[in-house]
Amino acid sequence: MSAARAIGLVLGVAADGALGDARRRPPVTAFRRLSQRRGAALAGALVVGGLLLERAGRGRPVVQATATAVSTWAVLGAAGLALQGTELARDLEECRFEPARATLSELDPRVADSLDLVGLSRASVETLAENTSDAVVAPLVWGAVAGVPGLVGARAASLLRRARVGRQGHWAIDRLDELVHLVPTRVAAGLTVLAAPVVGGSAGGAWRAWRRDTIAHPSPNAGRVEAAFAGALEIRVGGRTVYPHGVAELPVLGVGRNPDAGHVTRAVELSRVVGWLAGVTSVVLAVVAGFWRRSR
């Protein structure tokens, strides 16, 4: 089972890269567009479906590998995130702020109407970091541990939470999202430290920003990966952020200069490398988890 799950994760990651933009995938589109009530019902139905698929694959390696591969492709957002990040970097480089604001709004719930070049660059680096954790690392980590239900459940939790930003009655979704991402955000931050030198960044800076600057953050998860990205790129992010429901005064993450379009381009490359490392990590976790289950 461990080998079949690991093979499925590898095939799913490869399919995401080869077949492209997650924005055109029905599961992702559905979660983003449905209301909380219908979205939660759909999420529950998909998780139940994942449990049934996982059960059907027991003792049948081909079935398990296929189900894992298709589910990984369906929920993984690495290729789409890279495309949108590249769009953001290109528009900011050419000072085309309205298209940049539109792309940013697809990725992040903050209010972008009044953001200038520095503000848009900062927001772009932050959302690339956060989405790398939510849409890439978290599904792969949970997929390695729990198979298809883990893949679907992790992605559903983050998408449902984002759909409810600024609305009443989303406390339970926020707590679920925090629980689901408690480990993956830290895995993503650690992988960012490892990936930083590959894109000419600072591993030490990523480590220091992650460990130092997120202590004052109000969320147990948010800010971890953003701080690691900022430290790796030797820039500052965070601070005052406007959301539909109000203004959040968040801690400043990282040290150095304000980000620009070039830093957004490097953040895209950093996101790609973190995604590749997350794929390798998920395969190792799947194999280790399989050996642990067999040894019990």
pTM of the predicted model, to two decimals?
0.91
Q: CA-CA distance, 66 to 92, in Å (whole number)?
A: 40
Q: Read off the pLDDT of each residue in 39-43 and give the average, rounded to a whole number.
A: 64
Residue 11 has pLDDT above 90, yes or no: yes
**Mean residue pLDDT across the chain:** 87
Share of the chain above pLDDT 90, in %: 61
Q: How far is CA 166 from CA 136, 186, 258, in A?
A: 24, 26, 28
Q: Would you place residue 35 in the very low, low, confident or very high pLDDT band (cuts 50, 70, 90)?
A: very low
Q: Where are the domains of the chain?
A: 2-295
| The pLDDT value given to residue 14 | 94
Q: CA-CA distance, 261 to 91, in Å (whole number)?
A: 8
- Reported as a single tens digit per residue, the pLDDT across 50-108 is 777 777 777 788 989 998 998 899 889 899 999 999 999 999 999 999 999 999 998 99
- Reported as a single tens digit per residue, the pLDDT across 181-215 is 999 999 999 999 999 999 999 999 999 999 999 88
Number of Cβ within 10 Å of residue 49's Cβ equals 15
Q: CA-CA distance, 85 to 91, in Å (whole number)?
A: 10
Contacts of 140 (CB under 8 A, 6+ apart): 9, 13, 72, 76, 151, 278, 279, 281, 282
Q: Would you place residue 265 in the very low, low, confident or very high pLDDT band (cuts 50, 70, 90)?
A: very high
Sign of the torsion angle spanned by Cα atoms 97, 98, 102, 103: negative
| The pLDDT value given to residue 251 | 93
Contacts of 154 (CB under 8 A, 6+ apart): 75, 138, 139, 141, 142, 143, 180, 181, 184
| The pLDDT value given to residue 263 | 98
Residue 178 has pLDDT above 60, yes or no: yes
